Structure 1
């Protein structure tokens, strides 16, 4: 399996300099991972999106998927590096598709896409979100209900933003937001989990 823990050397350096206990080192490692991995993943996505000339649409797809994922959870690969590589390939691809396809679809076509994605995403989120993981289980029923409500609210907010962007003529961003929303909804399903497992095997 492909593994690269860029945070561990930094945690070891902090242990040496601050004379941390093993438990404190693990806490420092977790904190560093929480900051570094999302940041490096986003920088990689931005770099590829810029190189492909589709940065605004790439960021729109990344935003819609990431905003929903904050509350809904979803399938993920076991290696942070694999996760970064998947995001670096996927979201610029979605941005490129949005830039290429949106102008030919027109407002009416995009409105149909928006309605179709919302019609699929909302019921799926209501039924499946939040999706926890063995490493971070959701133990409280009240917390689970709150996360589900926030997930539904996220879908509604993104859809409202799409309507506003559609009126403004930003067709590529409307489609990119739909693609990102669809991808994150896919990650909630069994098929999404099977895909993550497949990527882990490949890596």
Structure 2
């Protein structure tokens, strides 16, 4: 059991006993507390890494876009909350530096090609794969699957439209900040596309083996 799981369980048990809740109500309280603590921990870690490495804007946009898409499209998960947070942080940080590199080196034509390739691949993979079930979210109910599929494709469409608008604005004004936001949004989409693809399974399995070696629970 990870530190976050132990903390949420301890708080839920204490509150449950004080409020005279039954085991089922304590379990529900524990789930809610775990989600809040885990999300807050991941957010703080992302903020700190972004500030220290001077990629705050890039890493926050990438993380927000990817996590919002993941909510509906599913995808591969790490075996523990700590591993999930660390692997996500490593991937989003890597893409944040990729954003800086592309922003500084790509002219408009190369940028346009880069954006179009990522978005076209994302549309293809999302259309054919999402939502992707996981161990904790098997998605056996067809109605639920269709609902999640619709929402994930709608959100993907929103990010595609946003990317097109930002691309047009950048083409007109060549503002560096717009270019950075555009690339960050696109790479956020790419990160979640990776998560629901076969490459995502391979990538997380590699992380899992590394975490086993260093004994990260």
TM-score of the superposition, structure 2-length normalised?
0.85
2:51 corresponds to: 50
Whether the 8 Å CA contact 1:158–1:177 is kept in 2: the answer is yes
Give the Cα–Cα distance (whole angstroms) in 2 for the partners of residues 137 and 34 of structure 1: 19
Q: Deviations over 1:51-102 (max 9, x none)?
A: 1111111111112211211210110112111111122222233112212321
Q: Deviations over 1:146-188 (max 9, x none)?
A: 2222222222211211222231431122112222211111111
Whether the 8 Å CA contact 1:58–1:95 is kept in 2: the answer is yes
Residue 186 (structure 1) aligned with residue 187 (structure 2): no
Give the Cα–Cα distance (whole angstroms) in 2 for the partners of residues 88 and 183 of structure 1: 11
Residue 33 (structure 1) aligned with residue 34 (structure 2): yes
Superposition pairs of residues 51-200 of structure 1, within 5 angstroms: 51-166=52-167, 167-168=169-170, 169=175, 170-200=178-208
Give the Cα–Cα distance (whole angstroms) in 1 for the partners of residues 80 and 33 of structure 2: 15
By how many angstroms is 1:122 displaced?
0.5
By how many angstroms is 1:118 displaced?
1.1
Whether the 8 Å CA contact 1:110–1:171 is kept in 2: the answer is no
Work out the number of aligned pairs and report it: 202
Give the Cα–Cα distance (whole angstroms) in 2 for the partners of residues 159 and 110 of structure 1: 15
Q: Deviations over 1:83-139 (max 9, x none)?
A: 111222222331122123212212222211111011111111011100122322223
Flag as ranges the 4+ runs of structure 1 deviating above 6 A: none
RMSD: 1.8
2:215 corresponds to: none
Gaps of 5+ in 1: none
Gaps of 5+ in 2: 212-217
Give the Cα–Cα distance (whole angstroms) in 2 for the partners of residues 155 and 192 of structure 1: 18
